[in-house]
Structure 1
C-alpha cells in the first residue's frame, strides 16, 4: 500500500549519520572520529561545568547534558558535524527560569522546548533561519555575551554578593555595592587562569586551553587553601560550594555516578519544595520554553551552516531540529539542562579530523568517563577559574570585531537594529530583543522596497514603441513589487493626470508581484478612472496577476478597460478607442 503523501513528506532523522555511512565510512574514519571526540571531550568537561554554574544549577547537570543530549542529538540530527551540549547563549534565558522555578522548572521547560523543536522540524520550518537578519543575530549574541560576563564578576573577584537577581541593572547594583569585599586570592586565581586561557594557544601544544587553564587554577587554589586556609583566605572551589545526595549517600562537589533517571517535576522548585505538575505551571513555563526553542533552533542551524562551510557538506535543517528536540526531551529525564549545537566545539571537532557524528558520541563518552572516574579531581576546580573561562567564552561570543565593523560600515538602519537588539538583550531579555529586532528589520526592508517601487510617465515622443501617440493618450511605467508598503505611493501620481488625457496605458511589465493591498488600491484607481471617463489599458502583467485582478472584479469593459500583452498591442488598442470616441 502506498504511503500517504503527508507521511512521505515528513523529514527524516539521523540524516547526518546516514550521509556519513553512504560515503563509505571505514576504520580510518573511525580513528579520526575517536581522536576528535577525545579532543572535544576534554574541552566540553570544563565548559559544561562552567555553563551549568552560570545557569544557576550544580555543575553535574551541565555534564549530564553533554552526555545524554550529546549522544541523542548526534545520532538523530541532520548535521554530520554538530556537537551539542550546554552553551553560553542560553545562560540569559535559563538563569531567570532557575530563579523563578528552580531546577525542576528548568528541566520541565527544556522538555517543553524539545517538543516545540520536534514540531518545528516536522512542519519543515528549518529554512526560516535565513529570514533572521544578521544585525539581529549579532545584536542579541553580543548582548548575551555582556550579560554572561557581568554574571562572572562576583566569582572572578571573590565578592560576597549573595543571590544574584533576574535583571541586569539590579545585578550591576549588587556587584557595585559589594566591591569592598574583593578577595585578593580569588582575584589572583582568576587572573592567573585567564592568562593561561589566553596564552596557552600560542604555544601550539595538543592539550586544549580550557583544560590547562582549569588545571593551573586548581593547582594554585590547592596551594593557597593548603598554606593559608586557616586565615580565612580560602579560595572557593566546586567541592566547597556544591553538595550532593543520591540514594542516601552524600558528598561535596560532583557526584561520581552516571546520569540516572529522574522525574523533573519531583525536583525542587525555587522555594526548595517539589514542584506540582499542573496546567498553571505548564502555562507559566510556555513563554520560557518557546524562547528556549527559538534560540535553540537559531543557534543549532547557524552552527550547521558554519560546519557545512568548513566541510563542503549539506545538512538537513528539519532533521536537525527534530534531533535537537529529541535531545532536549530525553536529557532532562536524566538531569540534563537545555542543549543545543555549540559552534566552538563543532569547529574544534572538524579541525581535529572528525568525519561523522560518531565524534560527538565519543565526546559524550569522554565526559561520562570524567564524571565516573574523575569527579573528585573536578571538585578541586576553583570558581574563579571557571569564571575566567566564561569571560573568555563571552569575549569570543561577542564577536567584538564584527560588532564594531558593522557599526562603522553598515547602513544607518541596520546599525539601529543592531543597537536596539543589543540594548534590549542586556536590559530586558533576548526574546523581546529578537521580536523587536525582526520587526524593525522587516519595517526597514518594507521601506527600502517601497523606495524601489515607482511610477514614471513615459515620453511618447521619444519612446520607440509608443512614438506618435496623440496628447489624449498618456503612458506610465510601474516598476517594482506592488505590496502594502509601496502600492499607494506608486499609484498616487496616476491621480494627477492632465485633464485632456482620455486614455492611460499602464505598463506593468516591471511588476513581479502584487499583494492584496495593491490589488485593492488598483481596483480603486480603476473605478476612479472610469468615473472620470478615463479609459485604462493594463500592459505586460503575468497571467497569474491578471487572474488575481479578475477575481477582484478588475475585468474588461469594452472600450474602457482591457489587458494587453505588450506596449505595441496597447498602442493599437488606444488608437482604436480614441478613434471610436471622436
Structure 2
C-alpha cells in the first residue's frame, strides 16, 4: 500500500548508530511519558505504555525515517478535560476514534489541508497549552494538598490560592533542585541526559534527606506494575460515540498537525530527507487505534524527542524500535522503583517542557503587529486557557477565515518577467544570465503560503545569482506569509543568491518593518 524506502543501504554500522540513538531517546522518553500521563489525569504507567506501543508502531508504519511518537504536552488539556468529564475508559474510546479519523485523513489527503491552519491559530493554542501545563504543576511544585483537578482554568487557580496555606517546604526544595539542574546542567554538561538527571537527583535527595516528607508517585497512584496490561477492547456505545466524536476529532487534528510538523522539522535537520505525509498519518492512526487497547493514551510525533533522535545519530526507523524496547525493558525491570519519584521532582520537568513549547517569541511578534492575525492569536490563546481547545481552534480558524475574506483579492501568481534595460545595467554586472526577475501577483497568506513555498525552489534552478521580486501587485501578506518569505530568504542565503525587492506597495512597508523583513532583506535591496 505504501512504498517504504527508509531502509535502503542499511547495514551494521547503521544499526549501531540507531542503537545508541534509540537508547538516548528512551532515557528522555521515560520521565516525559510518566509526567505527561500524570498531567493528563491518568496513572503514570499509561504514559509508558503509550511510549512503548505507539513509538513502535509509528517507527514501523510511519512516513518519517526519524519520527519518535508518544504522549506529548499538546494533548494534556484535551485529555484532562475528557478524563474529568467522561473518565479514563472513555478516554481510551476517544483515542481509538482519533486513530480511525487519522487513518481516514491519510486516504483523503487531509495532510495537505494542515497547511491551511493559520499560524496565528497554532501559535495561539500552543502558547495556551503551555500556560495550562505550567500552571497545572504549581500544586506539585509547592506541595499543596487538598487540590482537586477541575475542568476550567480559573477554577483550578482559585482552588490553588485557597489551598496555598498547605505548602510543603520539602516539596519546594525538591522542585527547586530539579529546576536548577534543568537550567545549569546543559551549560556544563550538554551531553548528559538532562531530564533523567533532573528527575534522579531530586528523587535521591528526597529519599535520603527527608524520606516520607513529599508526595510520590507511589503515594499518589500506587506502585507501577512491571508488565504491560492485558488486551482490552473498550465498550463502545452509540451514546459514547455521540459524546466523544468531537473531542476525538480534535485529538486527531492536533495529532496530525504535531506529527507532520515534527516530520518537517526532521526533514530540515537532515538534508535531502522528505517524509511521506500520507503514510505518516496512516502510521499515527494505526498507533492510536492499537495503543488504547493496551491502556495507552493518545500519541503523536514528538518534536523534541525526534530532534534528539537525529542529533544522537539515528539513520533509520530502527532507532524508534530500539527506543520502545528500551522503555519496555525499564518497565519490566525497574518500574517498581519509579514509585519513589516525588511529584515535586516531575513538576519542574513539565514546567521546562511548557516553557520550551510556549512559542513566546512568535506569540509576541504576531501580537506586536496589531493586525487581524493579532486578534486571531489572542482569541485562540484566551479560549484555549479559559474555555477549551476544541472551541479555541474552531473560533480561531473562523476568525482567520473571516479576516481572509475581508482582505482576500485574487490568487497568488508567480511568473518570470522581462528584465528592463535599467535593471540589467544596475544589477547584472555585465552578466545577464546571473540575473532573473519574477512578479508576485496576489496575496501571500495562510491559504497561499504553501503555493508560494512550492513555487520558489524552481526560481533557484535558473542559475541566477540575483533575483528581483516585483511585488507591485502583492495584495495581502499575513504572519504565515511572512514566515514563507523568511524561508525564501534562508534558502537564498544557503544558495548564495541575493534577493532584491522592487516596487513594494507603500502601505505594505510598515508591516515589513514591524515584522523584521525589512532589516532581514536589507535597506539596500529595496527599490520602491
Q: TM-score, normalised by structure 2?
A: 0.76
Verify the 8 A CA contact 1:235 1:382 in the aligned structure 2: yes
Cα distance between partner residues in 1 of 2:17 and 2:215: 39
Alpha carbons of structure 1 residues 378 and 452: separation in structure 2 relative to 1, 3 Å: closer
Structure 2: gaps of 5 or more residues: 413-440, 444-472, 474-528
Q: Which residue of 1 aligns with 2:250?
A: 291
Cα distance between partner residues in 1 of 2:113 and 2:209: 52
Of residues 398, 402, 414, the one that matches 1:443 is: 402
The alignment status of 1:347 with 2:307, answered yes or no, reads yes
- Post-superposition CA distance 1:271-301 (Å, at most 9, x none): xxxxxx3211121111111111111111111
Cα distance between partner residues in 2 of 1:194 and 1:19: 42
In the TM superposition, what are the counterparts of 1:164-563 in structure 2 within 5 Å?
164-226=149-211, 229=212, 234-243=213-222, 253-265=223-235, 277-312=236-271, 313-408=273-368, 410=369, 412-450=371-409
Matched residue count? 416
Cα distance between partner residues in 2 of 1:38 and 1:302: 24
Verify the 8 A CA contact 1:190 1:217 in the aligned structure 2: yes
Cα distance between partner residues in 2 of 1:438 and 1:117: 20
- Post-superposition CA distance 1:463-486 (Å, at most 9, x none): xxxxxxxxxxxxxxxx979xxxxx
Q: State the SS of the aligned residue for 1:161.
A: coil
Alpha carbons of structure 1 residues 442 and 36: separation in structure 2 relative to 1, 3 Å: same
Of residues 12, 27, 42, the one that matches 1:57 is: 42
Cα distance between partner residues in 2 of 1:411 and 1:175: 34
Please say which structure displays the higher CA radius of gyration: 1
C-alpha displacement of 1:449: 2.0
Q: Which residue of 2 aligns with 1:130?
A: 115
Cα distance between partner residues in 1 of 2:397 and 2:146: 36
Q: State the SS of the aligned residue for 1:19.
A: coil
Q: Which residue of 1 aligns with 2:11?
A: 26
Cα distance between partner residues in 2 of 1:480 and 1:196: 51
C-alpha displacement of 1:205: 4.6
Q: State the SS of the aligned residue for 2:7.
A: helix
C-alpha displacement of 1:378: 1.4
- Post-superposition CA distance 1:25-65 (Å, at most 9, x none): 11111111111001000000000000000011110000000
Q: Which residue of 1 aligns with 2:90?
A: 105
Verify the 8 A CA contact 1:421 1:433 in the aligned structure 2: yes
Cα distance between partner residues in 2 of 1:161 and 1:135: 37
What RMSD, in angstroms, separates the aligned Cα atoms of the two structures?
A: 1.9
Cα distance between partner residues in 2 of 1:157 and 1:287: 35
C-alpha displacement of 1:256: 1.1
Verify the 8 A CA contact 2:259 2:300 in the aligned structure 1: yes
Q: Which residue of 2 aligns with 1:570?
A: none
